[in-house]
Amino acid sequence: MDLDFNKNEDYNKLLNSKLKQRFAKVKLGGGKAKIEKHHAKGKMTARERIDYLLDPKSKSLEIGGFAGYLMYEEHGGCPSGGVVVKIGYVSGKQCIVVANDATVKAGAWFPITGKKNLRAQEISIQNNLPIIYLVDSAGVYLPLQDEIFPDKEHFGRIFRNNAVMSSMGITQISAVMGSCVAGGAYLPIMSDEALIVDKTGSIFLAGSYLVKAAIGETIDNETLGGASTHCEISGVTDYKSKDDKDALETIKNIFSKIGDYEKAGFNREKPLKPKNDPKEIYGILPKSRADQYDMREIINRIVDDSLFKEYKKDYGKTILTGYARIDGWAVGIVANQRKLVKSKKGEMQFGGVIYSDSADKATRFIANCNQKKIPLVFLQDVTGFMVGSKSEHGGIIKDGAKMVNAVSNSVVPKFTIIIGNSYGAGNYAMCGKAYDPRLITAWPSAELAVMSGNSAAKVLVQIEAASLKKQGQKITPKLEKELYEKIKSRYDEQVSPYYAASRLWTDAIIDPLDTRNWISMGIEAANHAPIKKKFNLGLVQV
């Protein structure tokens, strides 16, 4: 091992350690005091409920763990968006579980809470995956109601999705384990089956105080909408549970009876571990986002038996395309090559940049994977498309449009891992969030933005300096440096993977060693949804 390898390894392991430390804090939700208060009511926390529900020692994926990270600080924060979402297994059935965290503002819905719930439903819809709601929420967070209540992608969309999912035959089970009020009361009742926990669960459109104010009726919440009321009088709920564990056991029992699903039929063989040690990824990935490295070395530590069969290996070299297996599943990999390469014409091409020939190659490969029904995996470390007169005259916009078209119209499931840079149109062409990857994750080394902090700062400094000159101010080297540092500092904060994850531009920040598990479980989920559409590029010709 050389010195650079050791430096890279130390740096990337430190990034990974920070990731784990930050997530450990996020997992505390509203904090230890709130958790103790929650336990005193005889209730389990959202994470405890999910852990009890999922099959012991089974794998799981947490979606949006960093949602809301460092957001809403003026409101006391909203760790994990006030809701925990996991893909896992209940009675052997893969499903998605959504649990309100009542230790965070009594489970109230912030704007990011709504976005995260919609993402959970989107995953369910895309993959025909059963979904379980563990409800414990005080409803919309009133100080921010204008950002969560009325729009298309706000609170009300949840119930519209309930109805659509029901028409699709997607199993939805709800357990009311705490408050379930106002518009939120529709969610469990729009599910296939609903449970309610005695004495702690309640469902009503308006609580006792509002009922008193609105119509003058005096009634307590338990009589108004408790378990006995809804199981014995209204018939709103189907099962009355004595406590949280009893409710979760009932869900397990229901899930154990669900029949098998129609499969998409993606190819899978016996899984093999990579021959090359995955832990070496830490030393291969450079500390500096500007440094070059061979993406093949990363791929060989992710794929089964380290076997990667390249497609058009000697053409369009700044994108690697080829077939492999990940945990036994057949995949087509589209990856940015991050080292300086020589083109077919003998010209040197920058690593991480998409040129016309590499865009053309990627388009053809994506079409092939769609024809063969092979899921696509995008490994992003891209600074964008090549610019300049030579590229423009060579039709880079046309070739880039073809690639974006192929990604947009792809009918096989897509999975995106942001390893390093994810800048500008490169993010789009390599299947960024806007292009419907089934799952999209980032390594701690990732950066997402229109351009790098360094490039953006240089551009913005020029604009700022020109503006100040017009006002008659002299631009000294010292002032220019101060402007640069100020702008770059602000921009660097926004390119952080945590900034992206907090806003759900990615589903998670993951340890590179977890990459295989995310892709494998993602394809298993996608296998629940047979492909009904045909791949078609429309007027664009490959």
pLDDT at position 217 is 83
pLDDT at position 446 is 96
Amino acid at position 320, single letter: L
Closest CA to 177 of 50, 81, 306: 50
**Confidence grade of residue 493 (pLDDT, cut at 50, 70, 90):** confident
- Name the DSSP letter for residue 29: T
pLDDT at position 517 is 98
Left if phi > 0, otherwise alpha if psi is -120 to 50, otherwise beta: which for 338? alpha
Q: Report pTM.
A: 0.94
Closest CA to 250 of 221, 223, 227: 227
pLDDT at position 1 is 58
Rounded CA separation 82/137 (Å) = 9
Q: Is 194 exposed, middle or buried (0-12, 13-18, 19+ CB in 10 A)?
A: buried
**Confidence grade of residue 183 (pLDDT, cut at 50, 70, 90):** low
Query: Higher model confidence: residue 343 or residue 288?
Result: 288
What residue has token string 């003998």?
346
Q: Are 286 and 316 in contact (CB under 8 A)?
A: no
Name the strand (E) or helix (H) holding 42.
none
Q: Are 47 and 84 in contact (CB under 8 A)?
A: yes
Q: Look at residue 268 and give its three-state secondary structure.
A: strand
Which backbone phi and psi does 508 adopt, to 5 degrees? Answer: -170, 160
- Measured on CA atoms in the order 61, 63, 66, 72, is the torsion positive or negative? negative
Q: Are 176 and 188 in contact (CB under 8 A)?
A: yes
Give mean pLDDT, residues 200-227. Answer: 84
Rounded CA separation 68/83 (Å) = 10
Give mean pLDDT, residues 111-125. Answer: 97
Rounded CA separation 333/319 (Å) = 10
Sequence-distant (6+) residues with CB within 8 A of 57 are: none
Q: Say yes or no to pLDDT of 527 above 60.
A: yes
| Mean pLDDT score of the chain | 92
Q: Say yes or no to pLDDT of 282 above 90.
A: yes
164-167 contacts: CB < 8 A, separation 24 or more?
Answer: 164/125, 165/121, 165/124, 165/125, 165/131, 166/190, 166/192
What percent of the chain stands above pLDDT 70? 97
